[in-house]
Structure 1
């Protein structure tokens, strides 16, 4: 059975999932890339080193975001959102966003010595002194969801 997720299901899925994909478009190029994220009920928060994704979102802040939970090809849920990229520059807001991301990502890592592959440490106040760490939020303005259940 195919169907649409209701608002409560969409919110739940966004709060549970740790990885989604950002779609951005600038200069005639469309780029889709996976990101770790956290959703607080209003905005999506993520981080990145400077690169193509950040350059494109700075040029055109209108983005699309997609996340899904797939059990198999007949049992899945998917959410698509649209919103605006906004870089977080205020230090207090940066630390707050970083702590949200840390709290979500670190428990999902395996092994006692596991560290994120890039961009942050277990200390939320370390928000980019070693490298240019860019924290940003996607201010959502539309959300839809679909599912298939066997």
Structure 2
């Protein structure tokens, strides 16, 4: 098996070709990793969630990492890691254009709001909690691929 480094162009293509990722954030010395659906455009990944642990933690510490993976045949795989910064896109003046852009990009896919709108809560939440649109500004990209020998 050979491990190869992906070029920036290959990394960006992989981000564009996928929509499921793992988002890593941290509070204090505790990491937290969750799946998210995202949309990629320019230097940003756009996503959506209800309030919860990841939103609280990213508000406190906006430095995050995102992992996108593809499994190939046998032992082949590719992965891209984005190191970036969380930016909330609130529903108010000054953020409307980017919030609308996030909605437009995400809504191109069926079930774009999953898993961000689903919570394992019983009974259902009784109070309204506004959804959170956010983006991850890409600071650094890196990618690797494993190829059969």
> TM class by shorter-chain length?
0.7 to 0.9
Deviation of 1:131 after TM superposition, in Å, equals 4.3
Deviates more, 1:67-76 or 1:27-36: 67-76
Choose which of 142, 145, 148 in structure 2 pairs with 1:147: 145
* 8 Å CA contact 2:51, 2:129 repeated in 1: no
User: Would you say 1:57 and 2:63 are equivalent positions?
Assistant: no
* Count of aligned pairs: 133
* 8 Å CA contact 2:36, 2:115 repeated in 1: no
Deviation of 1:40 after TM superposition, in Å, equals 0.5
Kindly tell me: are residues 93 and 28 of structure 1, through their superposed partners in 2, closer, same or farther at Cα, counting changes over 3 Å?
A: same
| Equivalent-residue separation in structure 2 for 1:25 and 1:18 (angstroms) | 22
* 8 Å CA contact 1:78, 1:146 repeated in 2: yes
Which string of whole-angstrom CA distances, capped at 9 and with x for unpartnered residues, describes residues 9-33 of structure 1? 1010000111001110013321000
| Equivalent-residue separation in structure 2 for 1:84 and 1:73 (angstroms) | 34
Structure 2 residue ranges without an equivalent (≥5):
118-127
Deviation of 1:43 after TM superposition, in Å, equals 0.4
Q: 1:127 corresponds to which residue?
A: none
- TM-score, normalised with respect to structure 1: 0.81
Which of structure 1's runs of 4+ aligned residues deviate more than 6 A? none
